[in-house]
Amino acid sequence: MNFDRERLLSAAQEYGTPLYVYDTEIMKSQYERMTNAFYSVKKLKLNYACKANTNLNILKYFKSLGSGLDTVSIQEAMIGIKAGFEPNEIIYTPNGVSFEEIEMAVKLGLKINIDNISVLEHFGHEYPDYPVCVRINPHIMAGGNAKISVGHIDSKFGISIHQMPLVKRMVENTNMKINGIHMHTGSDILDIDVFLQGAEILFEVAKDFNALEYLDFGSGFKVPYYPNGDETDIEYLGERLGERFNQFQKAYKKELTLMFEPGKYLVSQAGFFLASVNVIKQTTSTVFAGVDSGFNHLQRPMFYGAHHEIVNISNPSGRNRYYTVVGYICETDTFGNNRKINEIKENDVLCFMNAGAYCFSMASNYNSRFRPAEVLWIDNEMHLIRRRENIEDLLASTVEISF
Ligand SMILES: Cc1ncc(COP(=O)(O)O)c(C=O)c1O
């Protein structure tokens, strides 16, 4: 992993803090690592799950690598089209949206994924000739925490594998075209057996649909959050799942595309969030380092209890001390509790690692703070890809009335 302290520091000086910096080299190496892992599969397609990071330029970068796009809202799909993706390179996997939104996806010509039996029936009556993919719920409990475990029996996602007889009857009755089977069981999954077990369930469902073009195994690959931390062994998964996929195609008697839709795996480690220390505050029990940011900009620690390594890039060889790093939001706003960090002084710049996925895309204007600027590192050059907001941006959609 590239961690260039000097360059990050110079980005903070040039663009100010708080600031997100993303490194395209890391995105590319993750993309290639994954495609290489599945070398045995003839037709492999990765679709970048852009909910992880929707900056238009990041979408354009993945397009340049040959990726497709995975979207969960019509707005993400519209950003994808603006980024240059053909509509049929965009998978649209909504959950709980209106039928009108699904009809917009039909008009745009997206690849549509349906995860609700009543919507499937409605779709079959209205658009019997528009091929769609069925998202199954495999009833597997997997994921780094409860909020990101989405393939279990109590989850709102997918159509239960036990409802496949009804799905098949509906398909026959409406003569609709099912071109794919999809599954996504959660995020942050380490255990390869979970992926393989899920794949067997998906194969079992897929064998009964005779016009498939692709199988989409979703995502959920774990990235390391600690130095030398655990991650999904993607090469081993590629060997095992690639082999099983090839066996399945042979039995199915048709060449299919194997799809994945990674978000975190492609961008998490490519992102660095930089914040400056406003205050050091010693209390009876703790030394707080308070930065010029908060959970409005990086929500994962407060929302999921997620761990982000915190490095003092202004003082890399300072002696180690323990700090609780907090934000400036007016409620508990802790980024890291009791962390060993090189000695911190006011105005030092702290770097939060793994800040490429679900960080800026979950940021808000809470406390009426501007959202940070974003910078992309391409071939040793920094490019500003989102300017810092200003007071006009904050008020842009407000409709003022007179009193
Ligand atoms: C349907 C779907 N696909 C892909 C992803 C991306 O998952 P990850 O970021 O773990 O790769 C998600 C994330 O929640 C998702 O809901």
Determine, yes or no, domain membership for 243: yes
pLDDT tens-digit readout, 283-319? 999 999 999 999 999 999 999 999 999 999 999 999 9
> Does the Cβ of 219 fall within 6 Å of ligand 1?
yes
17 CA to middle of ligand 1, Å? 29
Residue 265 known to bind ligand: no
pLDDT band at 147 (very low <50, low <70, confident <90, very high): low
Q: What is the pLDDT of residue 144?
A: 67
Determine, yes or no, domain membership for 38: no
Q: Where are the beta strands (DSSP E) in 121-238?
A: 132-137, 159-160, 178-182, 214-216
CA 20 – CA 271 distance, rounded (Å): 7
Determine, yes or no, domain membership for 112: yes
Q: In Å, how far from its chain's centre is CA 260? A: 12
Q: Give burial (CB, 10 Å; 0-12/13-18/19+) of 273.
A: buried
182 and 66 in a common domain? yes
- CATH number for the domain spanning 366: value is 2.40.37.10
Closest CA to 374 of 7, 15, 2: 15
265 CA to middle of ligand 1, Å? 10
Residue 300 known to bind ligand: yes
Q: Which amino acid is at 64?
A: S
Residue 137, strand partner residues: 160
| Side-chain half-sphere CA neighbours of 386 within 13 A | 22
Q: Which amino acid is at 357?
A: A
CA dihedral 26, 80, 160, 237 (to 10 degrees): -20
Determine, yes or no, domain membership for 402: no
The residues near 220 (Cβ < 8 Å, ≥ 6 apart) are: 142, 143, 184, 185, 186, 187, 188, 189, 195
346 and 236 in a common domain? no
The residue whose two tokens read 């498939």 is: 212
278 and 147 in a common domain? no
pLDDT tens-digit readout, 76-123? 999 999 999 999 999 999 999 999 999 999 999 999 999 999 999 999
pLDDT tens-digit readout, 210-237? 999 999 999 999 999 999 999 999 999 9
pTM (2 d.p.)? 0.96
Number of domains observed in the structure of the chain: 2
Look at strands 19-23 and 271-282 and give their pairing: antiparallel
Name the domain boundary from 206, 236, 262: 262
Residue 71 near residue 93 (C-beta atoms within 8 A): yes
Share of the chain above pLDDT 70, in %: 97
Determine, yes or no, domain membership for 205: yes
255 and 272 in a common domain? no
167 and 61 in a common domain? yes
3-state secondary structure of 136: strand
309 and 213 in a common domain? no
pLDDT, mean of residues 189-196: 90
Name the domain boundary from 262, 292, 326: 262
Q: Range of 167's domain?
A: 54-262
192 and 58 in a common domain? yes
205 and 152 in a common domain? yes
Share of the chain above pLDDT 90, in %: 92
Determine, yes or no, domain membership for 131: yes
* 359 is known as an active-site residue: no
Determine, yes or no, domain membership for 84: yes
266 CA to middle of ligand 1, Å? 11
> Does the Cβ of 115 fall within 6 Å of ligand 1?
no
